[in-house]
Structure 1
């Protein structure tokens, strides 16, 4: 996989809670310079990033229920609607981990389905936090994501331990088949890491370390 091919599937992210507007401006400038197609920023910064990036045809995405997933479905739906009104064109929501662990699968599925509905046809990805789940729970979560109508299952936020793992990507792909996409995120720090995720079955890569990755460097910062 060459550099341009990798750039085309990376969601460049800046989700640090203390990121300033100056940090966002630098981040957006880098996005334009390197040609990333999609970025993810915290909901507060969606309008700012949209104004800077939309002239270049670059999509801005928003995380929903981030980074714990325990918000009510109503809150997630409202957050989704506001993000879209502010310019978001992709949605990455966090699954209700407590409900999943409690085996309240109808709650989990409805939570996802309502956000998918609120997304009005935009690409919707569901973060399942693989580092906090058993293999059985990963399988169940992926099936619920598919049944609820989301477009992708995503490995992790990068904030709650664990992250993208080749074995997890292979497991998720074995369940998802070609019905939904898989986004590998959390702890991807090198070009080799990213390529290995793609080989294992990932369609998208989420990384705050995107520039270091494509330049073949080792990234030692946070997600």
Structure 2
């Protein structure tokens, strides 16, 4: 696969989710995102509202990073984020429910947030793929799709089990077909990593070290 630097940048949610992040850090993130030409910035909901240049989307996380929040709390957080200007919400499921095969509960959790995220706003569902078996990944993706999600997403980037893998992305893409987007996030640090995820089926990438990925191994033209 060959992508120009500009094309690769448009896959990217430029992300800052560190708990110590300040408003000044977020302002710097937005400025860098505009310079790099990425698709969006992804921030914590407490950082909203933010001012972004035209063409740059705003994503926030919800129930992050543990997913161990009541669905009503996740829904309220998502609704407030949209009201404060977010275009996209990346919610975390209850990982234990997926690990134990309680996919009806996963679906209900996602559905509660979907109800709070109006039509036209994007809902991504973080399944924490590294913490799940293949069966868990498939079941979580199916539950997310049944609940009306727009994307399934591999990881928070905060779980000790790890982040995105090519194998998980491929399995997620096989499960949702071309009906949903697939976002790979967590541990993607090079252009080669990014392209491998896209080749496996990712249509969005969550990156915190975006400039380093786009710089690749010295090339500034294409990958």
Query: TM-score, normalising length from structure 1?
Result: 0.92
17, 20, 40: which one aligns with 1:18: 20
Q: Which residue of 1 aligns with 2:174?
A: 174
Q: For each residue in 1:88-134, what CA deviation from the matched residue of structure 2 results, as whole angstroms up to 9, or x when unmatched?
A: 11010001112223332221101101111111121110000011111
For 1:29 and 1:6, the matched residues in 2 are separated by 18
**TM-fit CA distance, 1:173:** 1.1
Paired residue secondary structure (2:48): helix
For 1:182 and 1:102, the matched residues in 2 are separated by 23
- Aligned partners of 1:131 and 1:163 also within 8 Å: yes
Gaps of 5+ in 1: 219-223
For 2:194 and 2:178, the matched residues in 1 are separated by 20
116, 136, 143: which one aligns with 2:114: 116
For 2:217 and 2:27, the matched residues in 1 are separated by 23
- Aligned partners of 2:92 and 2:127 also within 8 Å: yes
Q: Which residue of 2 aligns with 1:221?
A: none
**TM-fit CA distance, 1:217:** 5.4
1:135-150 equivalence runs, <5 A: 135-150=134-149
Q: Give the aligned CA root-mean-square deviation in angstroms.
A: 1.3
Q: Which residue of 1 aligns with 2:221?
A: none
For 2:8 and 2:199, the matched residues in 1 are separated by 12
For 2:185 and 2:39, the matched residues in 1 are separated by 16
Q: Is the counterpart of residue 104 in structure 1 residue 69 in structure 2? A: no
Q: Which residue of 1 aligns with 2:38?
A: 36
Q: Which segment is superposed worse, 103-112 or 74-83? A: 103-112
Aligned length: 214
For 1:171 and 1:59, the matched residues in 2 are separated by 27
- Aligned partners of 1:46 and 1:60 also within 8 Å: no
- Aligned partners of 2:59 and 2:86 also within 8 Å: yes
Q: Is the counterpart of residue 78 in structure 1 residue 76 in structure 2? A: yes
1:90-101 equivalence runs, <5 A: 90-101=88-99
Gaps of 5+ in 2: 219-223
**TM-fit CA distance, 1:70:** 0.7
Q: Which residue of 2 aligns with 1:157?
A: 156
**Higher helix proportion, which one?**
1
Q: For each residue in 1:154-186, what CA deviation from the matched residue of structure 2 results, as whole angstroms up to 9, or x when unmatched?
A: 000000031111111111111111111100000
Q: Which residue of 2 aligns with 1:200?
A: 200
**TM-fit CA distance, 1:216:** 1.1
